[in-house]
Protein backbone atom coordinates (compact mmCIF):
# COMPACT_ATOMS: atom_id res chain seq x y z
CA UNK A 1 0.00 0.00 0.00
CA UNK A 2 3.01 2.32 0.21
CA UNK A 3 2.95 2.24 -3.57
CA UNK A 4 -0.46 3.92 -3.64
CA UNK A 5 0.70 6.80 -1.42
CA UNK A 6 3.89 7.32 -3.42
CA UNK A 7 1.84 7.32 -6.62
CA UNK A 8 -0.47 10.00 -5.19
CA UNK A 9 2.43 12.14 -3.98
CA UNK A 10 4.06 11.95 -7.40
CA UNK A 11 0.99 13.69 -8.81
CA UNK A 12 1.20 16.30 -6.02
CA UNK A 13 4.84 17.05 -6.88
CA UNK A 14 3.94 17.57 -10.54
CA UNK A 15 0.97 19.74 -9.66
CA UNK A 16 3.23 22.12 -7.76
CA UNK A 17 4.89 23.21 -11.00
CA UNK A 18 2.49 22.44 -13.85
CA UNK A 19 -1.10 21.98 -14.94
CA UNK A 20 -2.74 19.44 -17.22
CA UNK A 21 -2.86 20.63 -20.86
CA UNK A 22 -4.72 17.58 -22.18
CA UNK A 23 -8.06 16.04 -21.26
CA UNK A 24 -6.37 12.77 -20.31
CA UNK A 25 -3.92 10.05 -21.29
CA UNK A 26 -3.96 6.37 -22.19
CA UNK A 27 -0.90 4.16 -21.76
CA UNK A 28 -0.24 0.56 -22.81
CA UNK A 29 3.08 -1.25 -22.45
CA UNK A 30 4.90 -4.53 -22.94
CA UNK A 31 7.86 -5.40 -20.69
CA UNK A 32 10.12 -8.46 -20.43
CA UNK A 33 12.28 -9.14 -17.34
CA UNK A 34 14.75 -11.98 -16.94
CA UNK A 35 17.40 -12.82 -14.36
CA UNK A 36 20.02 -15.43 -13.48
CA UNK A 37 22.35 -16.03 -10.50
CA UNK A 38 25.61 -17.76 -9.66
CA UNK A 39 23.94 -20.16 -7.18
CA UNK A 40 24.92 -23.85 -7.14
CA UNK A 41 21.26 -24.48 -7.96
CA UNK A 42 20.60 -21.23 -9.87
CA UNK A 43 17.75 -18.90 -9.02
CA UNK A 44 16.33 -17.63 -12.28
CA UNK A 45 13.12 -16.38 -13.72
CA UNK A 46 11.34 -14.61 -16.53
CA UNK A 47 8.39 -12.24 -16.47
CA UNK A 48 6.31 -10.67 -19.21
CA UNK A 49 4.13 -7.71 -18.26
CA UNK A 50 1.43 -5.74 -20.03
CA UNK A 51 0.92 -2.60 -17.89
CA UNK A 52 -1.97 -0.30 -18.72
CA UNK A 53 -3.24 2.99 -17.31
CA UNK A 54 -5.73 5.73 -18.04
CA UNK A 55 -6.24 9.18 -16.59
CA UNK A 56 -8.91 11.69 -17.51
CA UNK A 57 -9.71 15.25 -16.45
CA UNK A 58 -13.44 15.55 -15.85
CA UNK A 59 -12.86 19.30 -15.47
CA UNK A 60 -9.83 21.48 -14.56
CA UNK A 61 -10.16 20.46 -10.91
CA UNK A 62 -11.06 16.75 -11.10
CA UNK A 63 -8.89 13.96 -12.46
CA UNK A 64 -9.71 10.24 -12.34
CA UNK A 65 -7.23 7.45 -13.01
CA UNK A 66 -6.87 3.69 -13.12
CA UNK A 67 -3.96 1.32 -13.68
CA UNK A 68 -3.02 -2.34 -13.54
CA UNK A 69 -1.18 -4.99 -15.52
CA UNK A 70 -1.35 -8.53 -16.81
CA UNK A 71 1.63 -10.74 -16.05
CA UNK A 72 3.11 -14.10 -16.99
CA UNK A 73 5.93 -15.32 -14.74
CA UNK A 74 8.20 -18.35 -14.51
CA UNK A 75 10.25 -18.79 -11.30
CA UNK A 76 12.89 -21.35 -10.31
CA UNK A 77 14.12 -21.20 -6.66
CA UNK A 78 17.50 -22.63 -5.63
CA UNK A 79 16.19 -24.43 -2.54
CA UNK A 80 13.79 -26.55 -4.61
CA UNK A 81 16.31 -27.58 -7.24
CA UNK A 82 14.93 -27.48 -10.79
CA UNK A 83 11.25 -27.14 -9.81
CA UNK A 84 9.70 -24.18 -11.62
CA UNK A 85 6.49 -22.28 -10.83
CA UNK A 86 4.56 -20.84 -13.76
CA UNK A 87 2.00 -18.11 -13.05
CA UNK A 88 -0.27 -15.86 -15.10
CA UNK A 89 -2.96 -13.43 -13.98
CA UNK A 90 -4.07 -9.82 -13.80
CA UNK A 91 -2.65 -7.77 -10.94
CA UNK A 92 -4.64 -5.75 -8.48
CA UNK A 93 -6.21 -2.62 -9.95
CA UNK A 94 -5.58 0.85 -8.56
CA UNK A 95 -8.34 3.39 -9.25
CA UNK A 96 -8.70 6.83 -7.78
CA UNK A 97 -9.41 10.49 -8.14
CA UNK A 98 -7.55 13.75 -7.56
CA UNK A 99 -9.32 16.95 -6.66
CA UNK A 100 -7.42 20.20 -7.28
CA UNK A 101 -8.77 23.25 -5.46
CA UNK A 102 -7.78 26.03 -3.08
CA UNK A 103 -7.82 25.82 0.71
CA UNK A 104 -6.48 28.55 3.00
CA UNK A 105 -6.14 30.45 -0.31
CA UNK A 106 -3.41 27.95 -1.38
CA UNK A 107 -3.33 25.45 -4.28
CA UNK A 108 -4.38 22.11 -2.79
CA UNK A 109 -4.78 18.50 -3.79
CA UNK A 110 -6.88 15.71 -2.31
CA UNK A 111 -6.11 12.27 -3.73
CA UNK A 112 -8.00 9.08 -2.88
CA UNK A 113 -6.98 5.71 -4.34
CA UNK A 114 -8.60 2.29 -4.04
CA UNK A 115 -6.68 -0.98 -4.36
CA UNK A 116 -9.15 -3.44 -5.92
CA UNK A 117 -8.06 -7.08 -5.24
CA UNK A 118 -8.36 -8.36 -8.81
CA UNK A 119 -5.00 -10.18 -8.65
CA UNK A 120 -3.66 -13.52 -7.42
CA UNK A 121 -3.15 -13.16 -3.66
CA UNK A 122 -0.69 -16.09 -3.57
CA UNK A 123 1.60 -14.83 -6.36
CA UNK A 124 3.99 -12.85 -4.14
CA UNK A 125 4.51 -15.83 -1.82
CA UNK A 126 5.17 -18.25 -4.69
CA UNK A 127 7.78 -16.00 -6.31
CA UNK A 128 9.56 -14.89 -3.13
CA UNK A 129 12.37 -17.48 -3.14
CA UNK A 130 13.07 -16.99 -6.85
CA UNK A 131 13.35 -13.24 -7.35
CA UNK A 132 16.12 -10.68 -6.93
CA UNK A 133 16.20 -9.69 -3.21
CA UNK A 134 13.61 -7.01 -2.56
CA UNK A 135 16.10 -4.64 -0.87
CA UNK A 136 17.55 -4.09 -4.35
CA UNK A 137 14.57 -4.42 -6.72
CA UNK A 138 10.89 -4.05 -5.82
CA UNK A 139 8.66 -6.96 -6.92
CA UNK A 140 6.53 -5.99 -9.91
CA UNK A 141 3.39 -7.99 -9.16
CA UNK A 142 0.76 -6.81 -6.66
CA UNK A 143 -1.96 -9.19 -5.41
CA UNK A 144 -3.30 -8.15 -2.01
CA UNK A 145 -6.53 -7.33 -0.25
CA UNK A 146 -8.78 -4.32 -0.62
CA UNK A 147 -7.10 -1.08 0.43
CA UNK A 148 -7.57 2.67 0.49
CA UNK A 149 -4.95 5.42 0.28
CA UNK A 150 -5.78 9.09 0.88
CA UNK A 151 -3.53 12.14 0.72
CA UNK A 152 -4.01 15.88 1.23
CA UNK A 153 -1.40 18.36 0.05
CA UNK A 154 -0.77 22.11 -0.06
CA UNK A 155 1.52 24.20 -2.26
CA UNK A 156 3.21 27.42 -1.06
CA UNK A 157 4.81 29.97 -3.38
CA UNK A 158 8.48 30.77 -2.73
CA UNK A 159 9.49 33.41 -5.24
CA UNK A 160 9.78 31.56 -8.53
CA UNK A 161 9.76 28.21 -6.71
CA UNK A 162 7.27 26.34 -4.54
CA UNK A 163 7.12 24.43 -1.28
CA UNK A 164 4.83 21.42 -0.98
CA UNK A 165 3.53 19.66 2.13
CA UNK A 166 1.40 16.52 2.18
CA UNK A 167 -0.02 14.01 4.65
CA UNK A 168 -1.58 10.66 3.87
CA UNK A 169 -3.00 7.47 5.33
CA UNK A 170 -3.04 4.01 3.80
CA UNK A 171 -5.47 1.30 4.94
CA UNK A 172 -4.73 -2.33 4.06
CA UNK A 173 -7.47 -4.94 4.22
CA UNK A 174 -6.88 -8.57 5.19
CA UNK A 175 -6.42 -11.42 2.72
CA UNK A 176 -5.19 -15.02 2.61
CA UNK A 177 -1.81 -15.11 0.83
CA UNK A 178 -1.41 -18.88 1.06
CA UNK A 179 1.93 -20.17 2.33
CA UNK A 180 4.43 -17.37 2.94
CA UNK A 181 7.96 -18.11 4.24
CA UNK A 182 8.24 -17.16 7.92
CA UNK A 183 4.60 -16.06 8.22
CA UNK A 184 1.96 -18.13 10.11
CA UNK A 185 -0.99 -19.26 8.01
CA UNK A 186 -4.22 -17.29 8.24
CA UNK A 187 -5.73 -13.98 7.19
CA UNK A 188 -2.85 -11.53 6.70
CA UNK A 189 -3.38 -7.82 7.33
CA UNK A 190 -0.41 -5.65 6.46
CA UNK A 191 0.21 -2.68 8.72
CA UNK A 192 -1.56 0.55 7.85
CA UNK A 193 0.74 3.49 7.16
CA UNK A 194 0.77 7.22 7.95
CA UNK A 195 2.72 9.32 5.47
CA UNK A 196 4.21 12.84 5.68
CA UNK A 197 6.12 14.58 2.91
CA UNK A 198 7.71 17.94 2.19
CA UNK A 199 9.35 19.15 -0.98
CA UNK A 200 10.73 22.25 -2.62
CA UNK A 201 10.72 22.74 -6.37
CA UNK A 202 12.85 25.47 -7.93
CA UNK A 203 12.61 26.06 -11.70
CA UNK A 204 15.46 27.49 -13.78
CA UNK A 205 15.86 28.62 -17.37
CA UNK A 206 15.71 26.03 -20.15
CA UNK A 207 13.05 23.96 -18.30
CA UNK A 208 15.67 22.93 -15.75
CA UNK A 209 14.65 22.44 -12.13
CA UNK A 210 15.75 21.07 -8.79
CA UNK A 211 13.57 19.23 -6.29
CA UNK A 212 14.37 18.47 -2.66
CA UNK A 213 12.13 15.84 -1.02
CA UNK A 214 11.76 14.70 2.58
CA UNK A 215 9.27 12.04 3.60
CA UNK A 216 8.47 9.67 6.44
CA UNK A 217 6.28 6.61 6.98
CA UNK A 218 4.94 5.30 10.28
CA UNK A 219 3.51 1.78 10.18
CA UNK A 220 0.93 0.06 12.36
CA UNK A 221 1.06 -3.63 13.29
CA UNK A 222 0.93 -6.45 10.76
CA UNK A 223 -1.52 -9.10 11.94
CA UNK A 224 -2.35 -12.71 11.10
CA UNK A 225 -5.88 -13.82 12.02
CA UNK A 226 -6.17 -10.75 14.27
CA UNK A 227 -2.93 -11.41 16.18
CA UNK A 228 0.05 -8.99 15.86
CA UNK A 229 3.10 -10.67 14.32
CA UNK A 230 5.28 -7.74 13.24
CA UNK A 231 5.52 -3.96 13.16
CA UNK A 232 7.80 -2.33 10.62
CA UNK A 233 9.88 0.50 12.03
CA UNK A 234 9.41 4.09 10.83
CA UNK A 235 10.97 4.88 7.45
CA UNK A 236 12.72 8.20 6.68
CA UNK A 237 13.66 9.34 3.17
CA UNK A 238 15.56 12.27 1.68
CA UNK A 239 16.43 12.95 -1.96
CA UNK A 240 17.71 15.63 -4.33
CA UNK A 241 16.70 15.75 -8.01
CA UNK A 242 18.29 17.91 -10.70
CA UNK A 243 16.31 17.79 -13.94
CA UNK A 244 17.69 18.98 -17.27
CA UNK A 245 15.62 17.73 -20.24
CA UNK A 246 18.45 18.63 -22.64
CA UNK A 247 21.49 17.38 -20.72
CA UNK A 248 22.59 15.86 -17.41
CA UNK A 249 19.97 14.96 -14.80
CA UNK A 250 20.48 13.04 -11.58
CA UNK A 251 18.75 11.99 -8.39
CA UNK A 252 20.53 11.08 -5.15
CA UNK A 253 18.91 9.90 -1.96
CA UNK A 254 18.98 7.92 1.26
CA UNK A 255 16.43 5.63 2.89
CA UNK A 256 16.68 4.95 6.62
CA UNK A 257 14.66 2.43 8.66
CA UNK A 258 14.34 2.42 12.43
CA UNK A 259 14.14 -0.84 14.37
CA UNK A 260 11.07 -2.99 13.90
CA UNK A 261 9.07 -4.88 16.52
CA UNK A 262 9.04 -8.69 16.54
CA UNK A 263 7.51 -11.33 18.85
CA UNK A 264 9.64 -12.03 21.94
CA UNK A 265 9.79 -15.27 23.96
CA UNK A 266 6.34 -14.59 25.44
CA UNK A 267 4.84 -13.92 22.02
CA UNK A 268 4.29 -10.16 22.50
CA UNK A 269 5.84 -7.59 20.18
CA UNK A 270 9.09 -5.99 21.34
CA UNK A 271 11.73 -3.83 19.67
CA UNK A 272 14.18 -6.06 17.84
CA UNK A 273 17.70 -6.44 19.21
CA UNK A 274 19.33 -5.16 16.03
CA UNK A 275 18.30 -3.23 12.96
CA UNK A 276 17.06 -5.68 10.31
CA UNK A 277 16.45 -3.16 7.51
CA UNK A 278 19.74 -1.32 7.00
CA UNK A 279 20.17 2.15 5.46
CA UNK A 280 20.50 2.35 1.69
CA UNK A 281 21.82 5.02 -0.66
CA UNK A 282 21.14 5.55 -4.35
CA UNK A 283 22.37 7.72 -7.23
CA UNK A 284 20.65 7.73 -10.63
CA UNK A 285 22.29 10.01 -13.22
CA UNK A 286 21.12 10.27 -16.82
CA UNK A 287 21.99 12.27 -19.92
CA UNK A 288 19.55 13.32 -22.63
CA UNK A 289 20.67 13.38 -26.25
CA UNK A 290 17.46 14.82 -27.67
CA UNK A 291 14.83 12.06 -27.46
CA UNK A 292 17.46 9.46 -26.50
CA UNK A 293 18.29 9.19 -22.80
CA UNK A 294 21.05 7.07 -21.24
CA UNK A 295 20.58 6.38 -17.55
CA UNK A 296 22.71 4.76 -14.83
CA UNK A 297 21.42 3.18 -11.60
CA UNK A 298 23.58 2.85 -8.49
CA UNK A 299 22.35 1.58 -5.12
CA UNK A 300 24.25 0.52 -2.01
CA UNK A 301 22.62 -1.32 0.90
CA UNK A 302 24.58 -1.50 4.16
CA UNK A 303 24.77 -4.78 6.15
CA UNK A 304 22.10 -4.96 8.82
CA UNK A 305 22.75 -5.11 12.56
CA UNK A 306 22.64 -8.91 12.91
CA UNK A 307 25.73 -11.13 12.68
CA UNK A 308 26.23 -14.15 10.43
CA UNK A 309 26.13 -16.41 13.51
CA UNK A 310 22.91 -14.95 14.97
CA UNK A 311 20.53 -17.88 15.71
CA UNK A 312 17.52 -15.86 14.54
CA UNK A 313 18.70 -16.11 10.92
CA UNK A 314 17.96 -12.42 10.35
CA UNK A 315 21.43 -11.51 9.11
CA UNK A 316 21.56 -9.66 5.78
CA UNK A 317 24.88 -8.64 4.26
CA UNK A 318 23.57 -5.81 2.10
CA UNK A 319 25.24 -5.25 -1.24
CA UNK A 320 25.44 -3.21 -4.41
CA UNK A 321 23.35 -2.68 -7.53
CA UNK A 322 24.84 -1.12 -10.66
CA UNK A 323 22.90 -0.78 -13.89
CA UNK A 324 22.62 1.03 -17.18
CA UNK A 325 19.50 1.69 -19.21
CA UNK A 326 18.88 3.52 -22.51
CA UNK A 327 15.47 4.82 -23.55
CA UNK A 328 14.15 6.51 -26.67
CA UNK A 329 10.92 8.45 -27.14
CA UNK A 330 9.57 8.28 -30.68
CA UNK A 331 7.01 10.99 -31.42
CA UNK A 332 4.35 9.41 -33.63
CA UNK A 333 2.20 12.53 -34.00
CA UNK A 334 1.01 15.52 -31.98
CA UNK A 335 -0.84 13.38 -29.43
CA UNK A 336 0.97 10.05 -29.23
CA UNK A 337 4.45 8.71 -28.44
CA UNK A 338 6.17 5.35 -28.33
CA UNK A 339 8.81 4.94 -25.62
CA UNK A 340 11.39 2.17 -26.08
CA UNK A 341 13.59 1.20 -23.14
CA UNK A 342 15.88 -1.47 -21.77
CA UNK A 343 18.31 -2.02 -18.92
CA UNK A 344 20.94 -4.32 -17.49
CA UNK A 345 21.52 -4.44 -13.73
CA UNK A 346 24.24 -6.34 -11.89
CA UNK A 347 23.50 -7.03 -8.21
CA UNK A 348 25.92 -8.32 -5.57
CA UNK A 349 24.14 -9.59 -2.43
CA UNK A 350 26.93 -9.96 0.15
CA UNK A 351 26.80 -13.38 1.84
CA UNK A 352 23.43 -13.91 0.22
CA UNK A 353 24.11 -17.45 -1.02
CA UNK A 354 25.77 -20.70 -0.06
CA UNK A 355 28.44 -22.77 -1.74
CA UNK A 356 28.46 -26.58 -2.02
CA UNK A 357 29.73 -26.78 1.58
CA UNK A 358 26.94 -24.49 2.87
CA UNK A 359 29.37 -21.64 3.53
CA UNK A 360 28.06 -18.12 2.99
CA UNK A 361 29.20 -16.55 -0.30
CA UNK A 362 28.17 -13.53 -2.32
CA UNK A 363 25.16 -14.04 -4.57
CA UNK A 364 25.43 -12.33 -7.95
CA UNK A 365 22.35 -11.51 -10.05
CA UNK A 366 22.08 -10.46 -13.68
CA UNK A 367 18.78 -8.68 -14.41
CA UNK A 368 17.73 -7.77 -17.97
CA UNK A 369 14.73 -5.63 -18.95
CA UNK A 370 13.40 -4.61 -22.34
CA UNK A 371 10.09 -2.95 -23.10
CA UNK A 372 7.95 -0.41 -24.90
CA UNK A 373 5.13 1.92 -23.84
CA UNK A 374 2.57 3.56 -26.11
CA UNK A 375 1.13 6.83 -24.78
CA UNK A 376 -1.87 8.63 -26.24
CA UNK A 377 -2.86 12.08 -25.00
CA UNK A 378 -6.59 12.71 -25.26
Contacts of residue 18, defined as CB under 8 A and 6 or more positions apart, other chains included, come to none
CA distance 118 to 113: 15
Q: What is the CATH number of domain 2-377?
A: 2.40.160
All structural domains of the chain with their residue ranges: 2-377
Tens of pLDDT along 219-264? 999 999 888 999 999 999 999 999 999 999 999 999 999 999 999 8
Does 1 have pLDDT greater than 80? Answer: no
How many alpha carbons lie under 13 Å from residue 25 in its C-beta half-sphere? Answer: 16
DSSP 7: H
pLDDT of residue 8: 40
Does 88 have pLDDT greater than 70? Answer: yes
Polymer length of the chain:
378
- How distant, in Å, are the alpha carbons of 201, 239, 242, 256 from that of 211? 5, 8, 7, 19
Does 212 have pLDDT greater than 50? Answer: yes
Identify the residue with better confidence: 280 or 23: 280
DSSP 101: E
DSSP 234: P
pLDDT of residue 40: 65
pTM to 2 decimal places: 0.87
DSSP string, 291-307: TEEEEEEEEEE---SS-
Does 17 have pLDDT greater than 70? Answer: no
Please give the share of the chain, as a percent, with pLDDT higher than 70. 91
Average pLDDT, the chain: 89
Percentage helix, strand, coil for the chain under 3-state DSSP, each rounded to 5: 5, 60, 35
Does 11 have pLDDT greater than 50? Answer: no
Q: In degrees rounded to 5, what are phi and psi of residue 219? A: -110, 140
Contacts of residue 166, defined as CB under 8 A and 6 or more positions apart, other chains included, come to 9, 12, 109, 151, 152, 153, 154, 195, 196, 197, 198
Tens of pLDDT along 23-47? 899 999 999 999 998 876 678 899 9
Of 55-59, 78-82, 189-193, 226-230, the least confident: 78-82
CA distance 158 to 202: 9
Specify the 3-state DSSP secondary structure of 254: strand
Radius of gyration of the chain (CA): 21
pLDDT of residue 21: 53
DSSP 124: H
Mean pLDDT value of segment 80-94: 86
Tens of pLDDT along 114-149? 999 999 999 988 888 889 999 999 888 989 889 999
Contacts of residue 265, defined as CB under 8 A and 6 or more positions apart, other chains included, come to none
DSSP 11: H
Output b/e per residue, 126-150; b: 16+ Cβ within 10 A.
Answer: bbbebbbbebbbeebbbbbbebbbb
CA distance 200 to 162: 6
**Is the separation of the CB atoms in 235 and 217 below 8 Å?**
yes
Amino acid sequence: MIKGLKFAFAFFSIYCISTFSFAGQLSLGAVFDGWTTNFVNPVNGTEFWVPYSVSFNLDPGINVYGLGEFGVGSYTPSNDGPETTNLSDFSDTLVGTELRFKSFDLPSLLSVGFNIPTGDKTWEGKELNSIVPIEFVDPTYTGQGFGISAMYGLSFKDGTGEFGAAAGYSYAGSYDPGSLPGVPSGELKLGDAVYLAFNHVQPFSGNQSETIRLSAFYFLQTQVSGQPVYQLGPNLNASYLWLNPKGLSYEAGIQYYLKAERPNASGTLATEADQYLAPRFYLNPSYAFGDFVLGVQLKYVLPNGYSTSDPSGLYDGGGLLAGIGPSYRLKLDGTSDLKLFGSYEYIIHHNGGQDANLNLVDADYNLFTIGATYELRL
